[in-house]
Amino acid sequence: MAPIVRMSGISKQFLGVTVLKDVDLDLHGGEVHALVGENGAGKSTLMKVLAGAHRPDTGSIVLNGQEVSFASPRDAQRAGIAIVHQELTLLPDRSVAENVHLGREPVRRGQVDRRRMEADTADLLDRLGEHGIAPRTQVRRLPVAQQQVVEIVKALSMDARVIAMDEPTAALADHEVELLYDLVDRLRSSGIAVLYVSHRMREVFDLSQRITVLKDGTLVTSTRTNQITQDQVVRAMVGRPLDTMFPDRAKTRGTVRLAVRGGGNSRLHDISLELSAGEIVGLAGLQGAGRSAVARALCGVDPLTTGEFEVDGQPVRVRSPRAAIRHGIAHVTEDRKGEGLALRQSVHDNTMLVRNAAFGRRRIDVERLLRSVRLVSRGTDQEVRYLSGGNQQKVVLAKWLAVNPKVLVADEPTRGIDVGAKKTVYELLRELADSGVAILMISSELPELIGMSDRILVMHDGRLAGELPAGSSEEAVMSLATGGQA
Amino acid sequence: MTATATRQPVRRHGTRKFRLTPTMSVYIALVVLLVAGSVLVGMRGGVLLDHGGILNILTRGTVLGLVAIGQTMVILTGSLDLSVAYLIGLCSLIAAETMAGDPGMIVPAVLLTIGFAAVVGLVNGLVITALKVNAFIATLGVALIIRGYLENTYTGPAGSVPRGFQHLGYDRIGPIPVSTVVMLVLAVIVWWYLTRTKGGYHVYAVGGDEEVARLSGIRTGRTIVTMHVLCSVMAGLAALFLVSRLGSGAPYVGTDAGYDLESIAAVVLGGTLLSGGRGGVAGTIGGVLILATLDTIFDDLGVTPFLKDVVRGAVLIVAVALYARSQLARRAR
Amino acid sequence: MTQTETQSQSRRPKLASSTIPVLAVLAVLLVALAFAGSAYQEPAGYLALLKRAAPLMILAIGQYFVIVSGGFDLSVGSLVTAEVVIAARLIDGDESATLWVMLLMLGIGAFVGLVNGAITTRLLVPSFIVTLGMLLVLDGAVFLWTGGAPRGALSDSFRTVGRQGIDGVPVIGQLPWSVVVLAVIVVLAVLFMRSPTGRTLLAVGDNETAVWLGGGRVERLRTLAFVLSGLSAAVAAILLGGFAGVSAQVGDGLEFRVITAVVLGGVVLGGGRGSVVAAMAGALTLESLFSLLNLLGVAGGLESTVQGVIIIAAVAYAAVNWRRKKP
Amino acid sequence: MKRLMTVGVAGLLALTGCSSDLPEAPPTVSSAPSATKSEFFDQAEHDRQLSLRDAAPQGPADKPWEQALNPTMVDTGKYAKPGPYEICFSNASVDNPWRQVGWKTMQVEATLHPEISKFTVLDAEAKDDKQISDIQQLTSGGCHALIVSPNTTATLTPAVEAACAKGIPVIVFDRGVNTKCPVTFIHPIGGYAFGATAAEFLASKVGQGGKVLALRVLPGVDVLEHRWAAAERILAAKGVQVAGVEFTGNDGAKAKSIVSDYLQRGDINGIWMDDGTAAVPVLEAFEDAGKKAPAISGEDQQQFLDKWKTEGLTAQAPTYPTYQWRTPVIAALKILKGEQVPQEWILPQPVITDQTLDQYRSQGMPPLHYALCGCQQMPGYPDKWK
């Protein structure tokens, strides 16, 4: 059977960095095609090329036997290609129905047919089993998971022949994931071609008929799902056995640098933990279990409202990021570009950012610092937006190293960076720990968390569900994370 | 996915609690102002809302209303237009000079004026969308260009309007000037366009998040350019109305009244977000009426114009601060 | 995998690349002036130009801080007028009042900036609206106080700064005080932008969340920018009032002119980009351009047109250039 | 929906009845052409003004604001009514010192007459459209007489016509309107006389071939255009070289800069100004450039007179006296009492010379005060004007 979409030889550069290189991809009707790869492997870019949001530098897209060239997402939509984006593309001030039909509002006698729009939306929500969302609700009033549902409904409403989903389950609760499975299945059986982008192996193997693996912008393998194993896919993604990536664990554990007893706020309850010099403590949990909330509480972003907080044995009040920093707590945030870096400023200025902002101190040897994080750049004058994700993350680490923290809270420190940079980040974290810093590391990639941590704390529903020793199995972590016992 | 049209979305009306929208608060403020003003003026032995008073408020509100309607449209897309004041001056001259007292030239002059205004709006829009110039700079630049032309070409009022055309500015129905009716009809049409049509939906989308709008297949550039054209056309209409009042074109009729910043103030006072995506024409008209009423009250009270400026500035800041506050409270909930 | 080290480094922040175009344009204009007018064939001519440009350059420096931190200050024009009118009424020709009135002017400038900043950051009103409101309030309040027209007179010593200079300087003859003031402020501004606070201010305009999470006091910094802008207006008022005496029109249109100047210098509205030297150079460029047009006999009215074309062109050039730019 | 609206509007029309505030067709047809861009020169008017300079005024010698030159009296019997009166005033603006001084003087004048029970004022803030509304508002109230100081001649004409049509006496002063309907139009001799006097003085001082720089406020204001039109002719006739004509916008700093630029290019022997507001900064430009003060024509502004006195300038000050702000109130009362008033009330326009400088200059007034306010004998002088 001929594919609905055949992408061949797709290449794309951004600002001189090759993001996709000569990638081929076929999408068949009635088939779920999983696209996997690490963050930064080019999955999202490939999808955006398909959706008309980016134009490929080279290569062609053939749709139903005809070569097409999409000038805009609108063109792609018209050709029957719909996208569920990873980041939410919703207008918070508009209603659910308005968002679902954005750009394709039904018109009746010159007016937008609101009744039909709302009825259609209600119908689609029903099909997804989402009875709790009213089409007239303003999107800003919905929780994030429901906003994700709206995002999916939006793609569904396009009557598309091809639907591409970029990590659609990222923000969904478990029962929602099940519904999504059903939905994807139904889409497939109605003859739609589904491109399913994810790095969650379980979903990929549950849902897909075909798997394509991207690594560093090139296609590593493309095969039927039943002809490959999970291990083989992971190896193809990473390019080498994962366990060689991680540095040795700590040999000794020093004094307690940070301690919280009975901490809580609107999202957290009864959090008690200790972080000691020299150790890397992993913090695991499902999406929404409160991992980031712990990070944000320790770092003063959403401060704890109850409980005791000690740094180096001294009780402290951490009510703002500034207070946290001045007590020696560093915070590598999840959203590097949005929260970590001033993208238009130079490497030098970003490295000095915290030092300047929180302490107003004079200069230090920035170059030495940048060498120590193995930064590759064209010089300290280069604007950080031109750096690769990995090097940007190294600048983030450098800006914290510049203030000699006692505690480092690293929220998803390897998100969206390539394998080489990941390894560097792992090494840097371990070096930091060895130098006496206490590290709390959060990651949604369990192998990484298990590989790095000296012990693992598991969150469930805003509470600490338990602690596991180094080298625990993924099953043990998941069991605690889903409310079971260790 | 078909056959759903008949289905009524009965069960999900959500929780429709009463919410004080910015538009409602504008009109509540207007009513409070009218009552307070009536009392104050009454204490000095006058009547605020007599025939003359109503006429006054409406006449004052008309030109600003026209300009502010247009300004609302561009601000909703996340843009703004600083060129309207000079454009009004130039359009008034084009209209008056084309008419040159000849009743037969009314129609060509009106068409020419509106056409010219549309071209200026097109330039504004294209400079912003195609040359990627910040709207502030783009429209300020266009304003300066027009200003230079005016200063260089005109020494004062020019052209003259036939009597027939002056009816637009002077006729009224009871206490309501015809021009106000025209302005309100236009406001209703624009309100309908923004809230009921596809184009209007796209305006809110572009102002809410241009990237989201683009990814949803909306031609964002076209939307912005269209709104700029419409905004300039509204300025052109304001100029036509002014010309009918003045009897001739006047180069600084728009700038003397400060229609550029004043219209932005009215829009923002009416609850439209300066960054776009939220608000609307209904609020703007409320904002315009508040400003016009304030003016009239001050006149009736014999307050010096300098105090008016102080109060206007303070009202503007306080109003926007209150909107920002309610926004915060809502987010925190 | 081998570790690559940071390549060839230039440690000091150099002249930002966005500064170069405006400096080039400025150089061309200055040379053109020499050809157009005989007065510009000797240093005194340029010194006179600098003297005239000093108030706008100082305002540009103040406005730069606000724009680079992501705001607008539309109130500077009316603040300048208000300051001059206030000074005239308070001094009323009395020499002994000069000093404390000057200090009071700086205080008023700082206070107006503080109010602008506080409302912007605490009440979350867009700075465009806050300073627009402030423009109206100042415009009205000062004339409410003086009854419509300026009253009183500035003392001679007040006027010295804007009018006189240090005589007998070799080569150039008289070194105007305003140029001295300008030089001091430029040096202070450059030092400030190199200080930790200055660097953080720039970062605020780029990514205020990152600065907040990095321990910066974003609200204070943005308020500081408005205070500096208010102070610059006070200094500009001292120079302008000194130059030509009391006038109710002294600040007319300065707010848009100074924003034009700053933008011409390649500083991007919205914040985070551009250098203070470039902002100042933008102001000097604008003044040089006006002098040149004047020398060439271009009608006064067309000045605005040229100004309009230039700012659109400058920003469009920067925007297009930025899109083409490779790392 | 639209149909519904049409019906609604039609219904409203039927209910309320359509009416118009548009005045009847103007009696003078000449108003239309004069509103177009004109050359601002009217030979007959020019000649008339120059001759008026030498005319002997009628009226009390010590009260120039009650004097009139070559008046043609009109009967006002039809407006006569018993007091007390409500007098209304539509002011263009108070946005410059000249208007400020005049406005204060007028306010005091109104208090001098007990028969005025109410003096209602609306300030148009220099907006033509607002002044049109203001006049409409005032004429819809209980005014017995309306004084108008028009913001712009051409654009305010229809509104003044409309006010006349209401049957209340209208008094126009300062800038005129293109209609004869007001009972009286009060103004000093005019721009031609002002400009000519200044030009003749300069020509006599700089001599043939002397270089005069003309500084004007802004183009397009007829009073100011007339000043320059007359001056231009006289300077040309006397062989005086006009180094340039520049607009200062009455901004002292701008004027000073312009003059400095000219001084860099060469000497200037005389300064002609259509408005003396910026005279002092202009003179400072000469000082700062280390040059001798030029012959200059200024105005009766205090700081200029002070400088003239202390530095012994070669100067003259034709005036556009602020005392004309007293006259409209006096005129209004005369009209309401049925007394005759001049149809065109031309006030004398004194010229301050070296000889009369001390007579006009009063010490201790603020720099932007105008000496010819005619307010020296008024209650509250001088504090109220400070």
Please check whether residue B20 touches A, CB under 8 A.
no
Residues of B in contact with D137 (CB under 8 A): 52, 55-56, 299
* A98 and A233 housed in the same domain: yes
Select from C149, C244, C252 the Cβ nearest to the Cβ of D368: C149
Please check whether residue D22 touches B, CB under 8 A.
yes
In terms of pLDDT, which residue wins out, B19 or A153? Answer: A153
In terms of pLDDT, which residue wins out, A353 or C13? Answer: A353
Please check whether residue C132 touches B, CB under 8 A.
yes
Residues of C in contact with A343 (CB under 8 A): 206-207
* A25 and A174 housed in the same domain: yes
Q: State percent of chain D over pLDDT 70.
A: 90
Residues of C in contact with D95 (CB under 8 A): 148, 248
Mean pLDDT of chain B: 88
Q: Is the pLDDT confidence value at C236 over 50?
A: yes
Region of residue A410 (left: phi > 0; alpha: psi -120 to 50; beta: else)? beta
pLDDT value at residue D34: 37
**Residue of chain C with shortest Cα separation from D103:** C148
Select from C141, C307, C309 the Cβ nearest to the Cβ of B310: C141
Under an 8 A CB cutoff, do B1 and A124 touch?
yes
Least confident of B324-333, C203-212, D135-144: B324-333
* A223 and A300 housed in the same domain: no
Under an 8 A CB cutoff, do C316 and B150 touch?
no
What 3-state DSSP class applies to C51? helix
**Enclosing H/E stretch for B38:** helix B22-43
CA dist C216 and C224 (Å) reads 13
Would you place residue C323 in the very low, low, confident or very high pLDDT band (cuts 50, 70, 90)? Answer: low
Would you place residue B228 in the very low, low, confident or very high pLDDT band (cuts 50, 70, 90)? Answer: very high
* A254 and A232 housed in the same domain: no
* A297 and A445 housed in the same domain: yes
pLDDT value at residue C82: 95
Please check whether residue C96 touches A, CB under 8 A.
no
C300 within 8 A of B151, measured Cβ to Cβ: yes
Nearest-5° angle of CA B299, CA B304, CA B307?
A: 105
How far out from the chain centre does Cα C4 lie?
44
- CB proximity list for D87: less than 8 A, separation 6 or greater: D110, D116, D118, D119, D120, D143, D144, D145, D147, D329, D332, D333
- CB proximity list for A164: less than 8 A, separation 6 or greater: A47, A50, A51, A81, A82, A83, A84, A194, A195, A196, A197
Q: Is the pLDDT confidence value at A332 over 90?
A: yes
**D252-265 helix and D279-288 helix, angle to the nearest 10 degrees:** 40
Q: State mean pLDDT over C228-241.
A: 96
Q: Is the pLDDT confidence value at C301 over 90?
A: no
Q: State mean pLDDT over D250-254.
A: 82
* Per-residue pLDDT reduced to its tens digit, A183-207: 788 778 878 899 998 767 778 888 8
Please check whether residue D43 touches C, CB under 8 A.
no
Q: State mean pLDDT over B256-279.
A: 91
pLDDT value at residue B284: 96
Q: Is the pLDDT confidence value at B163 over 80?
A: yes
DSSP A357: I
Q: Is the pLDDT confidence value at C3 over 50?
A: no
Q: State percent of chain B over pLDDT 70.
A: 92
Q: Is the pLDDT confidence value at D12 over 70?
A: no
Question: Which of A252-266, B19-33, B280-294 has the highest average model confidence (pLDDT)?
Answer: B280-294
Closest CA to D321 of D282, D361, D351: D351
pLDDT value at residue A87: 67
pLDDT value at residue A32: 93
CA dist B56 and B50 (Å) reads 10
Q: Is the pLDDT confidence value at B207 over 70?
A: yes
A259 within 8 A of A276, measured Cβ to Cβ: no
Q: Is the pLDDT confidence value at B16 over 60?
A: no
Q: What are phi and psi of A117, to 5 degrees?
A: -60, -45
State which of A191, A214, A240 marks the end of a domain: A240
Under an 8 A CB cutoff, do C311 and B137 touch?
yes
Q: Is A435 inside any structural domain?
A: yes
Q: Is the pLDDT confidence value at A315 over 90?
A: yes
Q: State mean pLDDT over D329-339.
A: 94
Q: State mean pLDDT over A134-155.
A: 82
Q: Domains in chain D, ordered, with CATH?
A: 60-190+322-349 (3.40.50.2300), 191-318 (3.40.50.2300)
Least confident of A323-327, B22-26, B262-266, D350-354: B22-26
Please check whether residue D128 touches B, CB under 8 A.
yes
pLDDT value at residue D18: 66
Tokens describing residue A153: 């409904």
Would you place residue C223 in the very low, low, confident or very high pLDDT band (cuts 50, 70, 90)? Answer: very high
Structural domain boundaries enclosing A389? 244-481
Q: Is the pLDDT confidence value at B269 over 70?
A: yes
Tokens describing residue B107: 């129609």
Q: Is the pLDDT confidence value at B13 over 50?
A: no
pLDDT value at residue B85: 95
Q: What are phi and psi of D339, to 5 degrees?
A: -80, 155
* A235 and A255 housed in the same domain: no
Measured on CA atoms in the order C294, C298, C304, C306, is the torsion positive or negative?
Answer: negative
* Per-residue pLDDT reduced to its tens digit, C169-186: 777 778 889 999 999 999
* A342 and A465 housed in the same domain: yes
* A52 and A144 housed in the same domain: yes
Q: Is the pLDDT confidence value at B1 over 80?
A: no
Q: Is A359 inside any structural domain?
A: yes
pLDDT value at residue C14: 47
* Per-residue pLDDT reduced to its tens digit, A44-101: 889 889 988 888 999 999 998 889 888 888 888 888 888 887 667 889 889 999 999 9
In terms of pLDDT, which residue wins out, A473 or C210? Answer: C210
- CB proximity list for D173: less than 8 A, separation 6 or greater: D147, D148, D149, D185, D186, D187, D324, D325, D327, D328
Would you place residue C4 in the very low, low, confident or very high pLDDT band (cuts 50, 70, 90)? Answer: very low
> Which residue do the tokens 């400096």 mark?
C23
Q: Is the pLDDT confidence value at A298 over 90?
A: yes
State which of A200, A225, A240 marks the end of a domain: A240
* Per-residue pLDDT reduced to its tens digit, A37-47: 876 678 888 98
Least confident of A235-244, A308-317, A336-345: A235-244
Q: Hey, which chains touch D, using 3+ CB pairs under 8 Å? A: B, C
D199 within 8 A of D230, measured Cβ to Cβ: yes
State which of A175, A207, A240 marks the end of a domain: A240
Count of residues making up chain B? 333
Under an 8 A CB cutoff, do A340 and C213 touch?
yes
Residues of B in contact with C304 (CB under 8 A): 144-145, 147-148, 151
* A217 and A270 housed in the same domain: no
pLDDT value at residue A201: 75
C226 within 8 A of C79, measured Cβ to Cβ: no
* Per-residue pLDDT reduced to its tens digit, A369-420: 999 999 988 888 888 988 888 899 999 999 999 999 999 999 989 877 777 7
**Enclosing H/E stretch for A421:** helix A419-434
Chain D: closest CA distance from residue B173 (Å): 4
A55 within 8 A of A101, measured Cβ to Cβ: no
Mean pLDDT of chain A: 86
Provide the strand spans (E) within A116-205: 162-166, 193-197
Under an 8 A CB cutoff, do B166 and D125 touch?
no
Q: Hey, which chains touch B, using 3+ CB pairs under 8 Å? A: A, C, D
Q: Is A486 inside any structural domain?
A: no
Closest CA to C252 of C52, C76, C59: C76
A100 within 8 A of B4, measured Cβ to Cβ: no
In terms of pLDDT, which residue wins out, C205 or A156? Answer: C205
Distance (Å) of CA D293 to CA A136, C25, C45, D212, D358: 78, 37, 21, 13, 20
Closest CA to B258 of B181, B316, B203, B300: B316
Q: Is the pLDDT confidence value at C101 over 70?
A: yes
Q: Is the pLDDT confidence value at C300 over 80?
A: no
Mutation target vs A (from B198, B211, B328; most A CBs, 10 A cutoff): B198
Q: Domains in chain C, ordered, with CATH?
A: 19-27+39-324 (1.10.3470)
* A205 and A260 housed in the same domain: no
Amino acid at residue number C284: L
Under an 8 A CB cutoff, do A118 and B9 touch?
yes
Would you place residue D328 in the very low, low, confident or very high pLDDT band (cuts 50, 70, 90)? Answer: very high
- CATH number of the domain where residue A168 is located: 3.40.50.300
* A130 and A183 housed in the same domain: yes
List the helix and strand counts (H, then E) for chain A. 17, 22
Q: Is A224 inside any structural domain?
A: yes
Number of domains in chain A: 2
* A339 and A466 housed in the same domain: yes
Q: What are phi and psi of B24, to 5 degrees?
A: -65, -40
CA dist D171 and D187 (Å) reads 11
**Enclosing H/E stretch for B305:** helix B305-332
Region of residue C206 (left: phi > 0; alpha: psi -120 to 50; beta: else)? alpha
Mean pLDDT of chain D: 85
In terms of pLDDT, which residue wins out, A151 or B82? Answer: B82
Q: Is the pLDDT confidence value at B14 over 70?
A: no
